Structure 1
Amino acid sequence: MTTVADSAKGKRLTPRGAKTRSRIVDAAADLMYMRGVGATSLEDVVAASGVSKSQLYHHFAGKDEVVRAVIDLMGERVILRERDALGRVSTIAGLRRWRDALVQGNALRHGAYGCALGSFASEVSDHDDVARRALVALFDEWRRLLAAALHRLQENGALPEDAPVDELAIGLLGALQGGYVLAQNARDVAPMATSIDMAIAHIASLSRR
């Protein structure tokens, strides 16, 4: 019978087992993103996923392992989205289109839930070092994607050769994350749009110097 790896416990899973595990993680991801990690219990995950408690504990030793699996899943989704979106960016106009897509996507929820990675970082980084390191790696990958886009702006002459691309990427990511928090609190994406616009305006100003 075909088996697949269980990344959480190092086991080999049958397709049926992999499907069960996936149902648990998908359900937990939806709940934790909307409610928060602290407000989501394993009983909630069991009810939402339709699995038994024994099935959940077959795959996960406890809540921390579920949270880590959710971070892996949400991180994969975010990085795949950003790799596709930022891979198209090579001009200031392209950078603004990237901004528009993020703001418009968040507007569908009225800014209610913020950035999945940012939300998890605020809840778990102080008490789960494994989860914190996973989030550090994901944010670093996001920063590298932004830096790669800015390097393409340099290659196209939209940024000067001496522009501090790595620092600009950090600033842009910080503006984005701060914007998500402000939008979540206000239930309005306007602060998010303004935060990213200010960062992009600074980047654009370098090309005019």
Structure 2
Amino acid sequence: MDDSSPTSAVARLTPRGAKTRSRIVETAAELIRVRGVGGTTLDDVVSASKVSKSQLYRHFEDKPSLVRAVIEHVGDRKISGERERLENVRTFAGLRRWRDAIVETNALQDGRYGCSLGSLANEVADHDWIARLKLQELFTAWEQLFMDLIERFQQDGLVPASADVRQLATGFVAAVQGGYVLAQTSRDVAPMESAIDMAIAHLQLLAMADERALEGLKA
């Protein structure tokens, strides 16, 4: 691994330094969640995290480097949470329970802040290519979770073996992201429910079409 990489730099920190860096990133992530990247300054982060400017600059040379660390922090937490929710889903009933869980969580603040990853992508993808590549990596990891789920459905005979797994997984990520945006703008999670329901219904229709095709072959 390149010793100049952020991961290597973090690994070289003392326990105290690592704790300070973590506090800065977590504070910045919360400020950015509420105010956005453009509405959050380094002075805001210094004040809210109760560190000095010299401490902040010891860990981050500028705002883009801090934002990249926030993306990694938020993204890893998001993917970890989605993995935990999705990894044991093997039925359509389980898939609907997953849908209920993320909608209910988003409803706690009336969809106010949208998806943490989607919001970051909207703000930085066109201005920071390093951040964009990290976001692409995270969305690919999220898509992979849906690919794994759909492959399990195929193994259990719930989805036709001929189904395009990657296309379906991309559709699920798009439905979730679109749902977050619609809920955020309307302050109502009903559009999010509808968007995800459409993705689930499509999977069920594929299963039904496959069953009809098999019945036709037997007739």
Q: Please classify the TM superposition score into its range, dividing by the shorter chain length.
A: over 0.9
For 2:33 and 2:152, locate their aligned partners in 1 and report how far apart those are by CA, in whole Å.
33
The residue matched to 2:12 in structure 1 has which SS? strand
Q: Is 1:59 paired with 2:59?
A: yes
Q: Is 1:28 paired with 2:19?
A: no
TM-score (norm 1): 0.95
| Counterpart code for 1:160 | P
For 1:154, the equivalent position in structure 2 comes to: 154
List per-residue Cα deviations over 1:70-111 (Å, max 9, x = no partner): 000001101111111110111111111111111011001110
The structure with the largest helix share of the pair is 2
Segments of 4+ moved more than 4 angstroms: 8-11
Give unpaired runs (5+ residues) of structure 1.
none
| Counterpart code for 1:168 | L
Q: Give the C-alpha shift of residue 13 in structure 1.
A: 1.1
For 1:23 and 1:104, locate their aligned partners in 2 and report how far apart those are by CA, in whole Å.
28
> Highest CA radius of gyration, 1 or 2?
2
Give unpaired runs (5+ residues) of structure 2.
210-219
Asked if the contact 2:10/2:18 (under 8 Å) is kept, the reply is no
Q: Give the C-alpha shift of residue 126 in structure 1.
A: 0.2
Asked if the contact 1:150/1:169 (under 8 Å) is kept, the reply is yes
For 1:138, the equivalent position in structure 2 comes to: 138
The residue matched to 2:139 in structure 1 has which SS? helix
How big is the alpha-carbon RMSD for the aligned residues of Structure 1 and Structure 2? Answer: 1.4
For 2:192, the equivalent position in structure 1 comes to: 192
Q: Give the C-alpha shift of residue 164 in structure 1.
A: 1.3
For 1:43, the equivalent position in structure 2 comes to: 43
List per-residue Cα deviations over 1:14-63 (Å, max 9, x = no partner): 11111111110010000001110000000000011000111100110000
For 1:140 and 1:11, locate their aligned partners in 2 and report how far apart those are by CA, in whole Å.
25
Q: Give the C-alpha shift of residue 8 in structure 1.
A: 7.5
For 2:43 and 2:88, locate their aligned partners in 1 and report how far apart those are by CA, in whole Å.
42
